[in-house]
């Protein structure tokens, strides 16, 4: 009976060694795959186009990413999943250029999968779009246009403040029709934002003065569309400048203070 027991022990030990080798091989393969990023950023370029400034993140495979904005300082954040920057020299050095002041790359290696974070610091609040084109991520900054003739600095009159109502059912979203700026009272500047439908939701934020950038107030009006890409008008009172730009399904209106502080 003793030889049988010894033989069984040998078989058991052999199975244990085999299982350890298989497990160790699998672990090694898994660790190796985790260190190799699926998306490699080979370069970041900035080029002037007929429509404005274009920032392109170049990669070798279709990227998976999320984007959002952060304030103070104002910046666009791109989080690219399972990605890494091939070379730190890929960050453009010809900055600032247009609204882009600086680009930072942050490797979030504690995430699973790892994330390559690009922070695009802006000097202003330009209209922009972000889209994936093949293996690249393209951020397009539109040129600033002056306000149309009907959106100008005019005295406010009671009958003008009552914009004709348009049935909201005829539009998927309300449209910004007019921005009236009333400076008839030297002690105040009044701004009337008119749409062809109800304003159901909005959010606001403030930024303090920073260097050459003025103090600003942001108002994002949900479910409103802009007739153009971006509008801008200089006021020259306590309100230095007013700008409007499309932000997805919202219109962002920016009020630049003409004072050292916000109004």
Query: pLDDT for 189-218, tens place per residue?
Result: 999 999 998 888 998 888 888 777 788 999
Distance in angstroms between the alpha carbons of the first and the last residue of the chain: 97
Mean pLDDT of the chain: 78
3-state secondary structure of 203: strand
| Sheet strands (E) in 71-160 | 75-81, 83-85, 100-108, 115-122, 128-133, 136-142, 145-146
Q: What is 39-143's CATH topology?
A: Immunoglobulin-like (2.60.40)
Residues 6+ apart with CB under 8 A from 183: 153, 189, 235, 237
Q: Measuring CA to CA, which residue among 92, 93, 102 is closest to residue 44? A: 92
Question: Measured between alpha carbons, how far is 177 from 244 in angstroms, rounded to an integer?
Answer: 12
Q: Is the pLDDT of residue 259 over 60?
A: yes
pLDDT tens sequence across 122-143: 987 788 889 999 999 999 998 7
Q: How would you class 239 by CB atoms within 10 Å of its CB: exposed for 0-12, middle for 13-18, buried for 19 or more?
A: buried
Copy the structure tokens of residue 107: 């490797």
Give the span between the Cα atoms of 251 and 244, in whole angstroms.
7
CA atoms in the 13 A half-sphere facing the CB of 35: 5
pLDDT band for position 153 (50/70/90)?
Answer: very low
CA angle 83, 122, 248 (to 5 degrees): 75
Options 2.60.40, 3.40.1130, 1.20.1420, 3.30.70; which CATH number does 146-257 get?
2.60.40
Residue 114 in contact with residue 105, Cβ under 8 Å?
Answer: no
Where are the CATH 2.60.40.3500 domain residues in the chain? 39-143
Confidence of residue 229 (pLDDT cuts 50, 70, 90): low
Q: Would you mind telling me the total number of residues written for the chain in this entry?
A: 263
Q: What is the pLDDT of residues 106-120, one digit of tens each?
A: 999 898 889 999 999
User: Bridge partners of 176?
Assistant: 195
Angle, alpha carbons 48-53-58 (nearest 5°)? 90
pLDDT of residue 89: 72
Cα 101–chain centre separation:
15
User: What percentage of the chain reaches a pLDDT higher than 70?
Assistant: 75
Which residues, 6+ apart, have CB-to-CB distance to 257 below 8 Å? 209, 214, 215, 216, 217, 238, 239, 240, 263
């Amino acid at each position: 009976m003793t030889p049988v027991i010894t033989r069984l022990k040998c078989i058991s030990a052999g199975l244990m060694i085999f299982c350890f080798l298989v497990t160790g091989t699998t672990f090694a393969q898994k660790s190796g795959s985790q260190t190799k990023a699926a998306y490699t950023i080979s370069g970041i370029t900035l080029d002037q186009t007929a429509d404005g400034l274009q920032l392109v993140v170049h990669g070798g495979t279709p990227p998976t990413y999320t984007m959002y904005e952060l304030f103070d300082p104002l910046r666009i954040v791109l989080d690219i999943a399972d990605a890494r920057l091939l070379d730190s020299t890929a960050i453009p050095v010809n900055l600032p250029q247009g609204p882009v002041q600086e680009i930072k790359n942050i490797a979030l290696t504690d995430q699973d999968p790892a994330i390559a974070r690009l922070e695009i610091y802006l000097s202003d609040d330009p209209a922009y779009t972000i889209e994936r084109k093949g293996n690249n991520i393209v951020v397009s900054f539109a040129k600033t246009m002056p306000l149309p003739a009907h959106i100008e600095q005019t005295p406010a009159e009671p009958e003008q403040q009552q914009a004709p109502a348009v049935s909201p059912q005829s539009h998927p979203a309300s449209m910004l029709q007019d921005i009236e700026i009333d400076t008839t009272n030297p002690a105040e500047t009044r701004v009337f934002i008119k749409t062809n439908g109800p304003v159901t939701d909005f959010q606001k934020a403030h930024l303090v003065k920073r260097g050459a950038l003025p103090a600003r107030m942001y108002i994002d009006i949900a479910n409103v569309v802009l007739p153009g890409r971006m509008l801008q008008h200089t006021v020259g009172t306590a309100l230095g400048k007013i700008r409007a730009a499309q932000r997805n399904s919202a219109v962002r209106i920016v009020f630049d203070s003409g004072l050292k502080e916000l109004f």
